[in-house]
Each structure stands twice: as structure tokens, then as C-alpha cells.
């Protein structure tokens, strides 16, 4: 079976691709495990020297012809991760809608045109939530995004559910917590600090944290989010019912708790590299984000959170081959 991953050159998409190579099989449209014959990664850019077992196609997810070529007619499964991140979609309204809405619709239309209705897993986000929020959100909380990115993600979820209802595809949308620890460099996402406070100090650099240490983060590790994508794909259609979007489990960690864990794991000299440099623009966005959830639906479906922030940091250290002092 052929698999298509939009945003497959990105951090999570590429990790997902390597995880799928490792597995070797996925549930086909009939629900039976089938050998993966090809994984196509579609993105604007790719890691240097990508795994030769992966087919990398460079292109724009909002370009009809490019998506049409890359998403081959006999594709069995689609993972749609391509997106302009929150800060980017907020800074460039038109670009955000072009990629996050027009691109989404192109992928859905192409999926609809495939030989068989594919399973499709969509990366949504807890940026869906905002405005006046309960202290603890749950599966009944109504999305009320306060960023264009969040609005585009919610709209994408409704499209996935409608295309699924019509039988055009078998869709599943995951509302991702903030992914921590992302390797690499800070990016335009307003949530960039949530990884930076661990990553930069572990790399020997100072991290300028734009939010106060009391700020809470609802987070999930790269390992767990990749497992969530695979699990979302593997679940039977009947496990999803008519509502195709689910809040993934996560853990709530304050910046202070994160820095304390960093101190336990890497020592005082590393933890001291987190410095507070308030940024009103970031604080305003982050203040609107949900911090605590109950996720009974996802847990009943078999999705899992990380054990604790210490485990998240230790996994990052192991995955990136970082040597501690």
C-alpha cells in the first residue's frame, strides 16, 4: 500500500514516515494489515539526505497540479500535516488561509478522487480552543479559536467529518497539544518557547522565555504524537463514530516545573540558561490557550499521554544523542 504524508519533510511528518518504515505495515482500507510499498513525503523542503526508502516530492500543498501529481490514484492512506504555523498564519492572513484551508481542501478533494476512499489522518490543534474557557476543558468544550491558525484547523476538522460522512474518505482529526521537545531551532509558532526552554539550554545556549514561569503548557512529546498518528490510523472506523475530531491526551506542565525537571536531569548550570524576557505579543496569544484537559474519549480509544515531563526530557536527550555534563 502507498502512503502520502503532507508536511512529510517537517519534524513530525518525517518522524512519522520513519516510524512507518519501521512498522512495515498499516491497516488498508479493508482494515487488514498490508505491507507498505511506498511512502511519499510532500513538502516544501526535506531533511538533508533523507532516507532513500522515502519518496520526497517538493511542492506547495495549495497547488492543485502539484498535489494531484504527488498524491497518486492508488494511495491507500493520507496523513495531512502540512500547515503554516500559528504565528505565521497570524502574521500573514492570506498565506494562512491559502495553505491551511485551500491546501486542506485540495488534499481532501484529491483523496476523494482516489481509486478507493482512503483513511486520512489530519493534524488539528488545541489552538481550536480559546476565548472564555473552563478551567479544565473536556470533550464537550466548543472550539472557539482566537487565532486564524486555530480557525483554519477547526474548519479542517469539519471538512474531514463531512467528507467522511459522505463516504469520500475515512477521516480522523487529532487535536494536538503543544509538541515538546521539538529539536532544531525556534520557529514562528507562538508556542516555540515551550521547546526552547529545554532545547537551547541542553545545547549550551541561553533560552529567552517570553512568558512568566507560572505559564502552563498542555504538551505531548514527539514520540507520543507519532504513536498517536499511527494509532488514529489503525483504529476501526466504527471507533470514531460521527465526530471525527478528538482531543489527544497530554500533560500540563508549567514553565517552572519544566525548568525544575531540567535541573534534576541536566543540572543547575543548564537550568540557569532559561532567562525570562517578557514579550507581550506572545503572552497575549498564549494566555488564550487551554492548559488543562480531561480527555476520556481519547483515553477510551487507546491514545496515551507521556508519563511526566522528566520522561519527555530524557526521551529528547536520548533521541538527539545529547551528552549530559
Binding to a copy of itself (CB under 8 A) within 151-170 occurs at: 151, 154-155, 158-159, 161-162, 165-166
The two beta strands, 245-247 and 170-176, are parallel
Q: For residue 247, give the nearest of 187, 175, 306 by alpha carbon.
A: 175
The whole-angstrom distance between residue 263's C-alpha and the CA centroid of its chain comes to 27
Binding to a copy of itself (CB under 8 A) within 224-243 occurs at: 241-243
Nearest distance from C-beta of residue 122 to a copy of itself, angstroms:
15
Q: What is the DSSP string of 196-248?
A: HHHHHHHTT--EEE-S-TT-EEEEE-HHHHHHHHHHHHHS-GGGTTT--EEEP
Question: What percentage of the chain's residues is helix, strand, coil (to nearest 5)?
Answer: 40, 20, 40
Q: How many CB atoms lie within 10 A of CB 323?
A: 6
290 binds a copy of itself (CB under 8 A): no
132 binds a copy of itself (CB under 8 A): yes
Nearest distance from C-beta of residue 292 to a copy of itself, angstroms:
18
Binding to a copy of itself (CB under 8 A) within 64-93 occurs at: 93
Please tell me the distance from the alpha carbon of residue 257 to that of residue 268, in angstroms, as a whole number. Answer: 14
The number of residues that bind a copy of itself (CB under 8 A) is 24
Strand arrangement of the beta sheet that strand 216-220 belongs to: 178-179, 216-220, 251-254
Of 19, 95, 141, 319, the residue at the interface with a copy of itself (CB under 8 A) is 141
CB of 151 or CB of 211, closer to a copy of itself: 151
Query: Is 149 tagged catalytic?
Result: yes
CB of 141 or CB of 283, closer to a copy of itself: 141
99 binds a copy of itself (CB under 8 A): no
Annotated active-site residue in 97, 149, 163, 316: 149
| Binding residues for a copy of itself (CB under 8 A) | 93, 130-132, 140-146, 148, 151, 154-155, 158-159, 161-162, 165-166, 241-243
What are the catalytic residues?
Answer: 149
Amino acid at each position: 500500500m502507498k502512503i502520502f504524508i503532507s508536511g512529510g519533510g517537517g519534524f513530525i511528518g518525517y518522524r512519522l514516515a520513519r516510524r512507518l518504515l519501521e512498522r512495515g505495515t498499516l491497516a488498508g482500507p479493508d482494515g487488514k494489515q498490508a505491507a507498505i510499498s511506498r511512502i511519499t513525503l510532500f513538502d516544501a523542503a526535506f531533511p538533508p539526505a533523507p532516507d532513500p526508502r522515502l519518496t520526497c516530492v517538493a511542492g506547495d500543498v495549495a497547488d492543485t497540479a502539484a498535489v494531484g501529481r504527488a498524491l497518486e490514484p492508488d494511495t491507500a492512506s493520507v496523513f495531512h500535516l502540512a500547515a503554516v504555523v500559528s504565528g505565521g498564519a497570524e502574521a500573514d492572513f492570506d498565506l494562512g488561509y491559502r495553505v491551511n484551508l485551500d491546501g486542506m481542501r485540495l488534499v481532501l478533494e484529491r483523496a476523494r478522487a482516489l481509486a478507493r476512499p482512503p483513511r486520512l489522518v489530519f493534524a488539528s490543534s488545541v489552538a481550536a480552543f480559546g476565548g472564555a474557557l473552563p478551567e479544565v476543558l473536556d470533550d464537550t468544550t466548543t472550539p472557539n479559536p482566537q487565532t486564524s491558525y486555530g480557525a483554519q484547523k477547526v474548519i479542517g476538522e469539519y471538512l474531514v467529518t463531512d467528507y467522511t460522512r459522505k463516504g469520500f474518505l475515512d477521516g480522523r482529526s487529532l487535536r494536538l497539544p503543544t509538541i515538546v521537545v521539538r529539536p532544531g531551532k525556534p520557529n514562528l509558532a507562538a508556542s516555540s518557547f515551550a521547546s526552547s526552554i529545554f532545547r537551547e539550554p541542553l545545547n549550551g545556549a541561553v533560552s529567552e522565555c517570553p512568558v512568566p514561569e507560572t505559564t502552563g503548557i498542555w504538551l505531548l512529546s514527539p514520540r507520543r504524537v507519532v504513536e498517536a498518528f499511527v494509532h488514529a490510523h489503525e483504529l476501526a472506523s466504527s471507533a470514531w463514530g460521527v465526530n471525527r475530531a478528538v482531543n489527544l491526551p497530554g500533560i500540563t506542565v508549567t514553565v517552572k516545573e519544566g525548568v525544575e525537571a531540567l535541573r534534576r536531569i541536566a543540572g543547575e548550570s543548564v537550568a540557569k540558561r532559561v532567562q525570562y524576557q517578557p514579550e507581550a505579543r506572545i503572552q497575549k496569544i498564549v494566555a488564550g490557550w487551554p492548559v488543562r484537559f480531561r480527555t476520556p474519549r481519547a483515553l477510551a480509544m487507546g491514545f496515551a499521554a507521556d508519563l511526566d515531563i522528566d520522561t519527555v526530557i530524557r526521551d529528547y536527550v536520548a533521541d538527539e544523542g545529547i551528552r549530559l555534563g
